[in-house]
Structure 1
Amino acid sequence: MSNRLSSRNALVTGATSNIGRAIAVALASEGAHVAVSGRNRERGEEVVAEIRSAGGRADFVAADLDGTSAASRALAEDALRTLGGRIDILVNNAGVYPSPTTPDTDEETFDRIYAVNVKAPFFLTAALAPAMIEAGGGAVVNLGSWIARLAVPVGSVYSSSKAAMESLTRSWAAEFGAQGVRVNAVSPGVVHTPTPAGDPAHPGDVMMRGTPAGGHGLPEAIGQAVVYLASDEAAFVHGTVLDVDGGRTAVAVIAG
């Protein structure tokens, strides 16, 4: 364990699995006290136990971010109480990924995607940014996605929700940056844990063919990117979207 984030308190939404779990573990490994937030207490406590077994500090904070301002405010209050009244780092990671085509997207699905992926982080940031400013500053890291800028034929609503988060990143950088709160985003490519031998390939892997990386990334890569943006090493970084996508959005893929 190093100490790049020692004395910092962090809240990570959607931290009970996959990318969120890796972010929470990475922040804690750098000395942060992490509020691991999610709906599933059992999985959340597993993440907390993993962090503590490595010598880190973490607590589980239950939350069902349904997009209402009340749910986001409740999480902000619970996390502040758990972390001793101060949050220095907010990671807006929680999200849902239904991927129907446009004609197959009903209103309920549309509203749920925007509620979880846009409204929830909007109101959570609205609740916590003023507290960060009052405490002397902080860092907000949003999760975008490569398909916000490089479209695929399905999942248009999800793609647009992630484009909204990347736009909010720039807007919030303008709104809060001069008051001491840096706001940036990480845009993952196809990222997942290794596929066990003999199991079918992950459906997203086909989209990484021909990229510089040549395949999918691991959740830990996103965790390390968040650590950088949350740390003092990124003190001069405001309003950026850091692509961690194996080159998917930077390099043309030539069909073979």
Structure 2
Amino acid sequence: MSERLQHRTALVTGSTSNIGRAIAEAFAAEGAHVIVSGRSRERGEQVVAGIRATGGRADFLAAELDGGADSARDLAERARAALGGRIDILVNNAGVYPAPDTAATDEETFDHVYAVNVKAPFFLTAAVVPAMERAGGGTVINLGSWIARLGIPVGALYSSTKGAMETLTRAWAAEFGPRGVRVNAISPGVILPRTDDGGEPHPGEIMMKGTPAGGVGSPDAVAHAAVWLAADESSFVHGTVVDVDGGRTGTAVIAA
């Protein structure tokens, strides 16, 4: 542990599994006191137990971020109380990924995906940032996606929400940066948990063919980028989307 985040506090939404869990664990390993947040208390408490077993500091807060401003304010208030009165780092990671074709997407699904993926982080950021400003500064990290900038024939609804989050990243950097709060985003490629199940290749692996990486990434790859964006090394980085996508959106490998 290098303790790059020593004496800092963090709220990571959707951190009971996958990318969010890896970020919470990485923050705790660097010395931060982390709030693990999500819908599943069982999974959340397992993450917390694992962090504590390695000497880290973490607590779980159940939260149903449905897009309502009240639910966002409630989580912000409970997190501040659990963290001793302040939140230094906010990671807007929670999201849902229904991916029906456009013609098959009903209005209820549309509203739900935008509520969870855009409205919830919007109002949570609005609830957290003013206290960051009063405390002298802070960091917000949003999660985008590679398919926000590289069109593929599935997931139009989801990709549009991630495009919205990348736009908000730049707008919030301009709005909050002069007041001491840095805002950046991470755009993951296809990220899959490491497994040894020996099963059939995941469809996402096909999407990563023809990239410099040549395959999918792990949640830890995103977590490493999040630690950097939260730490002092990135203090001159504002409004940036960091691609952690194996080169998917920026390059193409031509086979010999």
- 1:24 correspondence with 2:21: no
After superposition, give the CA deviation of every residue in 1:174-206 in whole Å (9 maximum; x if it has no partner): 000000000000000000112434212112111
After superposition, give the CA deviation of every residue in 1:100-124 in whole Å (9 maximum; x if it has no partner): 1100100111011100000000000
Unaligned runs of 5+ in 2: none
State the partner residue of 2:101.
Answer: 101
Q: Identical aligned pairs, as a percentage? A: 70
* Equivalent residues of 1:195, 1:201 under 8 A apart: no
Taking the aligned partners of 2:66 and 2:242, their CA distance within structure 1 comes to 27
Spell out the pairing of 1:9-48 with structure 2 (5 A cutoff): 9-48=9-48
Q: CA RMSD in A?
A: 1.1
After superposition, give the CA deviation of every residue in 1:68-123 in whole Å (9 maximum; x if it has no partner): 10111110011011101100000000000011110010011101110000000000
State the partner residue of 2:231.
Answer: 231
Aligned-pair CA distance for 1:2: 1.9
TM-score (norm 1): 0.98
Taking the aligned partners of 2:143 and 2:110, their CA distance within structure 1 comes to 19
* Equivalent residues of 2:117, 2:162 under 8 A apart: yes
Q: How many residues align?
A: 256
Q: Which region of structure 1 is more displaced relative to structure 2, 171-180 or 198-207?
A: 198-207
Q: Which runs of 4+ in 1 moved over 6 A?
A: none
Unaligned runs of 5+ in 1: none
**Residue type at the aligned position of 2:83:** L
Aligned-pair CA distance for 1:253: 5.2
Taking the aligned partners of 1:73 and 1:85, their CA distance within structure 2 comes to 14
Give the match's secondary structure for 1:247: coil
State the partner residue of 1:218.
Answer: 218
TM-score (norm 2): 0.98
After superposition, give the CA deviation of every residue in 1:21-48 in whole Å (9 maximum; x if it has no partner): 0000000000000000000001000000
**Residue type at the aligned position of 2:175:** E
Taking the aligned partners of 1:13 and 1:5, their CA distance within structure 2 comes to 18
Taking the aligned partners of 2:44 and 2:202, their CA distance within structure 1 comes to 25
Taking the aligned partners of 2:214 and 2:154, their CA distance within structure 1 comes to 23
- 1:136 correspondence with 2:128: no
Give the match's secondary structure for 1:120: helix
Give the match's secondary structure for 1:184: strand
